Each structure stands twice: as C-alpha cells, then as structure tokens.
Amino acid sequence: MEPFYQQTHKQVHEIQSHMGRLETADKQSVHLVENEIQASIDQIFSHLERLEILSSKEPPNKRQNAKLRVDQLKYDVQHLQTALRNFQHRRYTREQQERQREELLSRTFTTNVSQALGGGLQELDSLELELRSLSFILLGGV
C-alpha cells in the first residue's frame, strides 16, 4: 500500500502546482490545462478507491493510521476539484461579461427623442389623415 500511497500523494502535489498554470495560461490553452487537471483528478479518485480497499487490509495496528492518511488525501483532492470548478466558473463569468461588453460597444444607440419622433411621426401622419377626412365629411366635401 505504501508505494501506491506515495505515488498518489505525489500526483496530488503535481496537480497543486498545475493549478497555478491556470491563471497564467492564455485563452486558447486554458481549456487544455483544465482538461489535463480534471483527468488527473479523476485518476486520483480511482486510486483513492483502491487505497481505501488496501487500507482496510492493513494489520489492525496500522489500519487506523492508513485510513486517516487516505481520508486526508481524499480531502485534498476534493479541495482541488472545488478549486478547479471555482476557476472555471470565474472564467465563464468573465467571458460572458466580455461578450456582453463587446455587444454593447458594437450596438448603435439612438436618443429617446429620436425614438419617440420616429414612431410618433407615423402616428401623427395617420392622425392628420383622419382629421382631414373628418373635416372633409363635416364641411360637406369642401
């Protein structure tokens, strides 16, 4: 069990160092780094399942300590998984804000007066036609 535990422990520390690469990665490679880290985390979770089985097979005087060490590794990996999800959420939010900002910058705005006049002029034209036809009828076709 000990060599397998040491290997898994080493992988956890490697992932912790890779997490720093997320912040410095450019937009094109950040997805690759995220996928790489997620694959490593998934692999460690499968190793932890095996380590739990191995720790239960340890001699009674070593079993509690072995389970404690495996639980600590599991906690560390869950923490890394949460950190990765938080990073992905922040990145998604940032990208969404950038898209919205670009959309606003590319939109052409008009003033309220020109919008009111644009729709209002059509209404005035139709009202003017109605008034002319009513006055024509009232005045006896003059």
- What per-residue confidence (pLDDT) applies to 97? 94
Answer whether 74's CB lies under 8 Å from 67's CB. no
Q: Residue 18 pLDDT more than 70?
A: yes
Q: What is the pLDDT of residue 6?
A: 93
Q: Taking the domain 1-139, which CATH number applies?
A: 1.20.58.400
pTM of the predicted model as reported, rounded to 2 decimal places: 0.69
Structure tokens at 102: 């670009």
Among 15, 10, 14, residue whose Cα is nearest residue 83? 15
Say whether pLDDT at 116 is over 70. Answer: no
What pLDDT, on the 0 to 100 scale, is given for residue 114? 59
Distance CA 98, CA 94 (A): 6
Domain ranges of the chain: 1-139
With residues binned 3-state (H G I as helix, E B as strand, rest as coil), the percentages for the chain, rounded to 5, are: 85, 0, 15
Give the H/E segment covering residue 110. Answer: none
Q: Contact, 14 vs 40, CB < 8 A?
A: yes
The string over 94-108, giving b where at least 16 C-beta atoms fall within 10 Å of a residue's C-beta and e elsewhere, is: eeeeeeeeeeeeeee
pLDDT of residue 58: 93
Within a 10 A sphere around the Cβ of 71, how many other Cβ atoms?
14
Question: Is residue 47 a contact partner of residue 94, using CB atoms and an 8 Å limit?
Answer: no
Q: Is the pLDDT of residue 43 over 90?
A: yes
Least reliable range by pLDDT among 28-32, 98-102, 119-123, 125-129: 119-123
Question: pLDDT digit string (tens) for 73-111?
Answer: 999 999 999 999 999 999 999 999 999 999 988 888 776
